[in-house]
């Protein structure tokens, strides 16, 4: 009887997951180093100068009751498009473990290394995704603090573009090589064909080289070509690394790429925090608002999840003392993510921190809850399994099965109703 019941649940969950899919692509704008949530998505203007530092003000958004940090002026005009998740918490204050938690949804210290959620999506879409571009792309490189292929292996890791999208020629590793024209490449290929006489895997290699030639000189090249974008569009995103990377991400979404990681560094501001934020926050505000607005205008926001955050937040309390002289430390107890599109609703705030922002007092969210929700919206069962070479099938998100580690998927802010059997 129990067996029948379990089978029934399984069937129900399969059809539920299939129907829950809203998104085709995910863009993760990853602020590597840990951005300050109290200066961006969860301001605490009443906490006093020891907390607000130089940023005493806030900016009212176009949604009643939602305020952002004073530098987030563009994002404030479009709060109806995204939700702020203010209750994120994992308690880890080290880059390695914080990053591991936010990228895998697992907690570190276990016997196996989990793959990043980009790698998992790449693995899950391996049969259905037919695009010529890789399934998982990092603009311009992934974080290298752990092997993010995890136990799935390197095959599902991100394709790192390298290069500098903000410059005249964006050199994409293996694809755009400024030294080599089509003509030169053709002549080299002719030389190689004449040279090669050994039989090892010859047919296979020849065929793969043919695929590569199509990849190099075909449509995929255009996906990375920013020169053909109108200058007004490039300006709107901001002519800097982050802005142009976000523009590349939009083009990759148009090409159907399922997972794009836009990684931007420099957020680990222990010292001179406010001077650095004065320069960095306007760029973030411009890039992220341009991305969301552009996706929306092209009708792509409904099928594209945009996430923005880092491995943890920064201490709400400013370290005025030497040697920090106005810095913010690592902070994993309470921080924020911005989520938009692909089934995530807009105009909402989920969760709440206390008056200084140091503690989550309403609706805490664990990394596995956020990532599990992304899986669900991508049509992947967050309670499903992944194959491990020696351990058999392992849960895709082990923490989600543990009541102490999970606070539940984010049904409050998505267009999918919590199924009855889960209640």
Partner 1 sequence: MRKIWVFIACLLLPAMQAIASEKCRDEIFLRRAYLTVTGALPQAKSCVQFLDSRDPDKREALLDTLLESDLAIKYMQMHWGDILRIKSEFPSNLWPNGVQAYNRWIYEQLLNNVPYNKMVRDLLLSEGSNFRSPAANFYRGFQKRSAKNFYANINLLFLGNRNCTDNGHICFSQIKFKSTKEWKEEIIYLDYHKAAPWEQITLSDGTTFGLSEDSDWREAYVNWLTSPQNRRFAEVMVNRMWYWVFGKGIVNEPDDWREDNLPSDPELLKQLTDYFIDSNYDMRALMKKILLSDKFNSKTAPEGEYEPQRLPAEVIIDAISSSLGSWSTYSSRVPEPFTYYPPATRATHLGDATVSSTELELFGKVSRDVSLESQRNNAITSRQLLYLMNSSELEQRIRKSSFIKWIGENSKGIPHLASTITLRTLSRRATKQEIALYREHMEKNNLSMMELAIDIMWTQLNSNEFLYNH
Most distant CA pair in the chain, distance: 75
Write down the least CB distance from residue 183 to partner 1, Å: 8
**Extended beta strands in 341-417, E state:** 348-350, 352-353, 360-362, 385-388, 392-395
Residue 225: partners with Cβ closer than 8 Å, 6 or more residues away: 170
Four-CA torsion 353, 301, 239, 78, nearest 10 degrees: -50
Q: Rounded CA gap, 364 and 88, in Å?
A: 6
Is the CB of 48 or the CB of 110 nearer to partner 1?
110
Cα–Cα distances in angstroms (integers) from residue 136 to residues 70, 133, 225, 391, in the given order: 34, 9, 18, 25
CB contact burial 50-61 (16+ within 10 A = b; e otherwise) = ebbbebeebbeb
* Cβ-based neighbour number of residue 187 at 10 Å: 11
Write down the least CB distance from residue 160 to partner 1, Å: 6
> What is the number of alpha carbons within 13 Å of residue 228 lying toward its C-beta?
7
Is the CB of 155 or the CB of 278 nearer to partner 1?
155
Return the closest-CA partner of residue 155 out of 115, 97, 128. Answer: 115
Q: Rounded CA gap, 143 and 262, in Å?
A: 10
Is the CB of 98 or the CB of 316 nearer to partner 1?
98
Write down the least CB distance from residue 133 to partner 1, Å: 12
Is the CB of 6 or the CB of 190 nearer to partner 1?
190
Residue 85, strand partner residues: 337, 350
Write down the least CB distance from residue 156 to partner 1, Å: 12
Structural tokens at position 148: 């993010």
Q: Rounded CA gap, 290 and 298, in Å?
A: 12
Is the CB of 181 or the CB of 235 nearer to partner 1?
181
Write down the least CB distance from residue 259 to partner 1, Å: 16
Write down the least CB distance from residue 209 to partner 1, Å: 6
Q: Rounded CA gap, 133 and 12, in Å?
A: 34
Residue 135 has φ and ψ, to the nearest 5°, of -75, -25
Is the CB of 11 or the CB of 180 nearer to partner 1?
180
Write down the least CB distance from residue 331 to partner 1, Å: 18
Write down the least CB distance from residue 92 to partner 1, Å: 14
Structural tokens at position 257: 């790429």
Is the CB of 109 or the CB of 230 nearer to partner 1?
109
Is the CB of 14 or the CB of 205 nearer to partner 1?
205
Q: Rounded CA gap, 116 and 396, in Å?
A: 11
Is the CB of 162 or the CB of 282 nearer to partner 1?
162
The answer to whether residues 75 and 339 touch, using CB atoms and an 8 Å cutoff, is: no
Cα–Cα distances in angstroms (integers) from residue 149 to residues 79, 116, 369, in the given order: 34, 6, 21
Write down the least CB distance from residue 30 to partner 1, Å: 16
Please give the full DSSP string across 140-159, using - where no structure is assigned.
S----SS-TTGGG-GGGS-E
Is the CB of 57 or the CB of 210 nearer to partner 1?
210
Binding site for partner 1 (CB under 8 A): 95-96, 108, 110-113, 134, 144-147, 149, 151, 153-155, 157, 159-160, 162-163, 171, 173-180, 184-185, 187-188, 190-192, 194-202, 204-205, 208-209, 211-212, 215-216, 389-390
Write down the least CB distance from residue 178 to partner 1, Å: 7
Write down the least CB distance from residue 200 to partner 1, Å: 4
Is the CB of 200 or the CB of 297 nearer to partner 1?
200
């Amino acid at each position: 009887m129990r067996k029948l019941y379990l089978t029934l649940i399984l069937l129900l969950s399969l059809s539920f997951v299939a129907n829950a899919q809203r998104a085709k692509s995910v863009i993760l704008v990853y602020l590597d180093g840990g951005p300050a949530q109290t200066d961006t998505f969860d301001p605490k203007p009443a906490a006093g100068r020891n907390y607000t530092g130089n940023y005493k003000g806030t900016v009212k958004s176009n949604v009643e009751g939602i305020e952002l940090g004073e530098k987030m002026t563009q994002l404030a005009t479009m709060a109806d498009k995204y939700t702020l998740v203010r209750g994120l918490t994992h308690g880890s204050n080290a880059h390695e473990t914080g990053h591991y938690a936010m990228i895998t949804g697992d907690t570190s210290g276990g016997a196996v290394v989990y793959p990043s959620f980009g790698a998992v999506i790449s693995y899950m879409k391996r049969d259905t995704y037919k695009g010529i571009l890789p399934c998982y792309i990092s603009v311009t490189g992934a974080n290298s603090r752990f092997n993010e292929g995890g136990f799935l292996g390197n095959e599902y890791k991100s394709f790192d573009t390298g290069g500098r999208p903000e410059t005249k020629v964006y050199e994409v590793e293996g694809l755009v090589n400024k030294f080599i024209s089509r003509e030169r490449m053709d002549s080299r290929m002719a030389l190689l064909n004449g040279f090669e006489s050994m039989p090892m895997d010859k047919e296979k290699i020849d065929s793969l080289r043919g695929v590569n030639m199509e990849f190099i000189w075909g449509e995929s090249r255009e996906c990375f070509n920013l020169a053909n974008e109108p200058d007004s569009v490039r300006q709107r995103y901001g002519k800097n690394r982050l802005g142009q990377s976000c523009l590349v991400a939009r083009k990759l979404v148009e090409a159907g790429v399922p997972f794009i990681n836009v990684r931007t560094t420099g957020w680990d501001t222990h010292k001179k925090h406010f001077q650095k934020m004065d320069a960095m926050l306007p760029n973030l505000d411009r890039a992220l608002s341009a991305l969301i607005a552009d996706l929306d205008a092209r009708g792509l926001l409904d099928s594209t999840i945009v996430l923005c955050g880092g491995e943890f937040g920064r201490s709400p309390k400013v370290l005025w003392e030497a040697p920090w002289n106005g810095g913010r430390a690592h902070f994993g107890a309470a921080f924020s993510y911005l989520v938009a599109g692909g089934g995530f609703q807009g105009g909402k705030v989920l969760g709440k921190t206390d008056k200084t922002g140091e503690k989550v007092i309403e609706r805490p969210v664990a990394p596995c809850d956020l990532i599990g929700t992304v899986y669900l919206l991508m049509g992947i069962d967050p309670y499903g399994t992944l194959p491990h070479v020696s351990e058999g099938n392992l849960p895709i998100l082990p923490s989600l099965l543990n009541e102490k580690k999970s606070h539940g998927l984010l049904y409050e802010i998505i267009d999918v109703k919590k199924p009855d059997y889960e209640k």
